[in-house]
Amino acid sequence: MDVYGLIGNPVGHSLSPPMHEAGYEELEIDARYVTYEPEDAGAAIEAAADLGIAGLNVTIPFKQDVLDHVEPDETAERIGAVNTVDFSSVGSTNGGRPTGHNTDVAGVRRSFAHHDVDLDGTTAVQIGAGGAGRAIAFALADAGASVHVANRTASKAHDLASDVPRAEGHGLEAVPDLLADADVLANATSVGMDDDVSPVDADALHEDLVVFDAVYSPIETRLLADAAAAGADTIDGAWMLLFQGVAAFERWTGEAAPVEAMNAALRSHLE
């Protein structure tokens, strides 16, 4: 039996176990997905390698710490964070180090692709410049969008924008004017999580926008409800969560993930 898992703190309410295990069940793969709250990310990676763990997801607060304990790929290096560790190289080529990946970027890219949104040549406004914001900004830019990053702490928007191609940083006050000419709005703040508030004034939304929200609890945030009311297309945060898991699943198992089964399992745990 292969063992996969998630390290972070807290991980008690993670939706990754039911999502991944639905995938194993659908493909009849003999595997389990477990969660663990370690004291120290480096020691956890070392122990996982010794124990023969096949793959680990990594969440807050260890996504950056893990970089020092794996061989990061180009995406993980650019983002400066690892959310997926693959132990298949341990004991072989690169000196036994597991490899580190960031599937949040693929998660965002595949969320838009799944909704038939071609980002190439679009203008995107992204609100938020934290951990999720970094992955989202790179995903939008990699797909060909020009990205306006706006953040409550404007200096963080400028810092992120300086790392991302075709990106500009702003304070939040710029958002309504930027949205008037935008094709895409992405919320990368935690505003709307477990609370009926939106990071954007509803009057600034319009029917030519595709609105993506990283927040997945609730699934229909106030922002997405306002966007739908304005006639915009919407992509909820469960898609990003699903497709980052799908990308990890496919890297670890080498199989095409059963997306529908994983999506159904994930959404059955969300409201």
Adjacent-strand bridge partners of 3: 32
CB of residue 188 to ligand NAP, shortest distance in Å: 6
Adjacent-strand bridge partners of 187: 127, 213
**Environment class of residue 3 by beta-carbon count within 10 Å: exposed (0-12), middle (13-18) or buried (19+)?**
middle
**Environment class of residue 194 by beta-carbon count within 10 Å: exposed (0-12), middle (13-18) or buried (19+)?**
exposed
Binding residues for ligand NAP (CB under 6 A): 104, 107, 128-133, 151-153, 156, 188-191, 193, 199, 214-216, 237, 240-241, 244
Catalytic residue, from 6, 7, 63, 87: name it: 63
C-beta of residue 84 within 8 angstroms of C-beta of residue 102: yes
CB of residue 49 to ligand NAP, shortest distance in Å: 26
In terms of CB distance, is 35 or 89 closer to ligand NAP? 35
In terms of CB distance, is 49 or 222 closer to ligand NAP? 222
Adjacent-strand bridge partners of 147: 124, 167
CB of residue 97 to ligand NAP, shortest distance in Å: 25
CB of residue 101 to ligand NAP, shortest distance in Å: 15
In terms of CB distance, is 90 or 175 closer to ligand NAP? 175
Taken as a whole, the chain contains a residue count of: 271
In terms of CB distance, is 18 or 208 closer to ligand NAP? 18
- Cα 25 to Cα 33, 51, 165, 261: the distances in Å are 12, 23, 41, 9
Annotated active-site residue 63? The verdict is yes
In terms of CB distance, is 14 or 123 closer to ligand NAP? 14
CB of residue 165 to ligand NAP, shortest distance in Å: 20
Adjacent-strand bridge partners of 55: 4, 86
Which residues, 6+ apart, have CB-to-CB distance to 189 below 8 Å?
127, 128, 130, 133, 151, 152, 199
Q: How far apart are CA 57 and CA 62, in angstroms?
A: 10
Residue nearest to ligand NAP (CB): 130
Q: Which residues are catalytic?
A: 63
